Amino acid sequence: MSRSLAYLILALIVSNVFPAVPSYTLKKAPQTITVDGVLDERLWSKLDSFSLVDCTSGSMPSQATMVKAAWDEQYLYLSITAKDKDVWATITAHDGNLYTEEMLEFFIDPDRDGKNYFEFEFNCLGALMDMFMMAPYGTTGGGGNINWTSSNINFKVKVHGSINNQSDVDTSYILEAKIPWADLKFNTTTAPQPKAGDRMAINIYRGDGRQTKTYSCWSPVGGSLPGSFHSPQLFGTFVFSDSLAYQQTAAESHTGNSLSFAGYDIRCSLTRSGLKLTYTAPENAHAVFVISDISGKIIRQFSLDNGHHTMALDSPHHLSPGIYIVRLLTKQKDITEKAAFYPPW
């Protein structure tokens, strides 16, 4: 029996056991998020979640995994919370074989043709494997191009516990990501430009455990081996909605909390733990970032180091919600914008 025929038989069997694939309505994000693995933005509190189930039986696994997602014209927003009493992984290299250890995996087939699709794997150490699948394994031309890279993906994994320490009990690890639609192209394929009413084929997987691995997924594939994950005809469906996840205040809808210029990208948000600043600065950065109140009085001012950084700037008790002035001063330009700092609760 050929492998192609075996995969066809598997698909027919699974279609009888799991006659309908799951669907999830993607609400629209009113504004972008700060990606740090801490799900404290208002967006995440306003979205419905779905759980992963055992890949073979469809039953609930011993360690739960909850997923939320949203979209806008630039990004797919994704959070995965994996309950885990023993968080572990050893691979740190990009494009390593993450599937051999504990990992979270995300498949997306934007045009739902079931022929080619994109694959992302993440582990608790923050390693990423990304590739473009030319066709599912076991089919004509099946296999992936590991050289494909999502060059602008922004993700962070936050661990609640200790990694690779079996002497204690951990709680979970959380993936927070925003994936640019513009990255989802390969050679002559066109990057998707989603709009309300569109649908995309999606599946999400988790590998859990040390000696005995268990596999869970959103849309069951009838098998527990990583190879059986590559069944795009069994992927679930993300349905794009134009309904906003929440309504912005009038101030939020007319002001921005980000500045970008010449390799600098700065984002501010007010969270329960205080004012949070996430920024990326280029090599040989020479810039100053200033936050002032509406009268022009300087509240915070500091130099930016090159690289990617997240900083807690203040306690919410010392910075009232409202409109502020943010400035980015570089050798090339002085950029000034209004910013709305409102709590996400």
State pLDDT tens for residues 60-96.
Answer: 999 999 999 999 999 999 999 999 999 999 999 999 9
Examine the pLDDT at 154 and tell me if it is beyond 70: yes
Ranked by mean pLDDT, the top range of 153-162, 179-188, 260-269 is: 153-162
Given this model, what pLDDT does residue 315 score? Answer: 54
Mean pLDDT of all residues in the chain? Answer: 84
Average pLDDT over residues 323-331: 81
The domain 250-341 having CATH identifier 2.60.40.1930: the answer here is yes
Examine the pLDDT at 102 and tell me if it is beyond 80: yes
Q: What is the CATH number of domain 3-244?
A: 2.60.40.1190
Closest C-alpha to 334, from 261, 234, 276, 271: 261
Given this model, what pLDDT does residue 41 score? Answer: 86
What single DSSP character describes residue 219? Answer: S
Given this model, what pLDDT does residue 201 score? Answer: 96
End-to-end CA distance of the chain, in Å? 58
Model confidence over 4-51: pLDDT tens digits?
A: 555 455 555 444 444 589 999 999 999 888 898 999 888 999 999 999
Tokens of 318: 């010392």
Q: Which residue has the higher pLDDT, 16 or 223?
A: 223
Given this model, what pLDDT does residue 255 score? Answer: 46
Closest C-alpha to 313, from 290, 329, 286: 290
- Report percent pLDDT > 90 for the chain: 50
- Helix, strand, coil percentages in the chain from 3-state DSSP, rounded to 5: 10, 40, 45
Given this model, what pLDDT does residue 226 score? Answer: 58
C-alpha–C-alpha distance, residues 290 and 328, integer Å? 7
CATH 2.60.40.1190, the chain: domain bounds? 3-244
Q: Which residue has the higher pLDDT, 291 or 139?
A: 291
CATH 2.60.40.1930, the chain: domain bounds? 250-341
